[in-house]
């Protein structure tokens, strides 16, 4: 009997980029247990840990916990075979991160690096503020939409895993991210307004096919940390790193939007983060991180790892964007 929950809503399944992601797409087009096999166990062992194929496959698995895909049976969310396959992908990704990330045990040390603004900054936001043209900003927004159209959703997973001060402060910050009770102030909706000003399609998931593997990896990091209770410390570290770095980067991006005449809604999204994230930075460091470590001090290494892993992936994404733009090329992926 046809599953009544399989409705023609949600984003379309993206196109695969290799054996791993093609295998997931093929499976999701059927029903769990219908006979379409997933890639065999161990297939991910030889995959590039930051590559497009692995990260699209992982993104497909994670997205089932958010909005799912048009026509895909929601029973896939908890299918044991798909979860086992996802675990292989996660293991490959997490092992690479642990190898490539600094092994620090001091959270203050990890976050201190983010508080120092180098005079000759080379981030994507520095480039966009000083040299970016309208087409660069449109590409940046298209890439970032993979996260910003569900902004703060991955971080909400950690709230039930926290206690006391950490839980209260995290809920306070998330409430602001979700508009403080006003639907028109939800950050994902503000980003949709930014996209409209830039002439982009605001449909959820519209730009997944052109998002680079580096962008998908950044989004997958949040989902992986959020969906695993064992990684709650890493999620808090990631969240702290984002909040510490957000305000100065948002200020530069607001300047870039105004300089190219992108529109008031485009600048408003980043103005909101300049105003809010400065306050959030203190709250997350003192209450979320501090509260967590008062309750569970043994998680400090995990918190530092989460912050540093965020930096590793942010640097990879910035390198991808700036390398293409420096050569006068599009940084968006061309679907095959």
Instruction: Kindly write down the DSSP assignment for every residue of 84-130, as one continuous string.
Output: HHHHHHHHHHHHHHHHHS-----HHHHHHHHH---TT--SHHHHHHH
Q: Going residue by residue through the chain (336 aa), what tens digit of pLDDT does each one get?
A: 345 566 677 899 999 999 999 999 999 999 998 878 899 888 999 999 999 999 999 999 999 999 999 999 999 999 999 999 999 999 999 999 999 998 888 888 888 877 666 556 678 999 999 999 999 999 999 999 999 999 999 999 999 999 999 999 999 999 999 999 999 999 999 999 999 999 999 999 999 999 999 999 999 999 999 999 999 999 999 999 998 888 889 999 999 999 999 999 999 999 988 865 557 888 999 999 999 999 999 999 999 999 999 999 999 999 999 999 999 999 999 865
User: Among 214, 217, 285, which Cα is nearest to 246's?
Assistant: 285
CA 72 to CA 75: how far, in whole Å? 9
């Amino acid at each position: 009997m046809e599953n009544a929950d399989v409705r023609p809503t949600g984003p379309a399944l993206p196109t695969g980029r290799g054996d791993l992601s093609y295998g997931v797409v093929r499976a999701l087009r059927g029903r769990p247990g219908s006979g379409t096999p997933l890639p065999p166990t161990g297939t991910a062992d030889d995959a590039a840990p930051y590559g497009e194929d692995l990260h699209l496959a992982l993104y497909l698995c994670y997205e089932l916990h958010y909005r799912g895909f048009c026509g895909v049976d929601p029973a896939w969310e908890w299918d044991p075979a798909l979860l086992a396959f996802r675990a292989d992908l996660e293991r490959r990704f997490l092992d690479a991160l642990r190898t490539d990330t600094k092994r620090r045990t001091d959270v203050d040390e990890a976050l201190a690096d983010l508080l120092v603004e180098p005079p000759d900054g080379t981030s994507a936001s520095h480039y966009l503020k000083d040299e970016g043209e309208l087409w660069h900003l449109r590409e940046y927004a298209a890439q970032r939409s993979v996260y910003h159209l569900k902004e703060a959703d991955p971080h909400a997973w950690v709230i039930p895993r926290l206690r006391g001060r950490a839980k209260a402060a995290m809920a306070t910050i998330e409430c602001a991210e979700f508009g403080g009770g006003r639907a028109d102030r939800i950050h994902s909706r503000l980003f949709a307004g930014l996209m409209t000003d830039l002439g982009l399609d605001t449909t959820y998931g519209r730009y997944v096919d052109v998002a680079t593997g580096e962008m998908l990896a950044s989004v997958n990091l949040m989902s992986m940390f959020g969906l695993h209770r064992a990684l709650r410390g890493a999620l808090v570290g990631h969240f702290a790193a984002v909040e510490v770095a957000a305000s100065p980067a948002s200020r530069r991006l607001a300047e870039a939007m105004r300089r190219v005449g992108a529109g008031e809604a485009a600048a408003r999204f980043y103005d909101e983060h300049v105003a809010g994230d400065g306050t959030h930075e203190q709250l997350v460091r003192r209450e979320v991180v501090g509260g967590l470590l008062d309750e569970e001090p043994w998680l400090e290494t995990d918190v530092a790892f989460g912050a540093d892993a965020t930096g590793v992936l942010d640097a990879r994404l910035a390198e991808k964007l700036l390398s293409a733009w420096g050569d006068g090329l599009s940084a968006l992926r061309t679907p095959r």
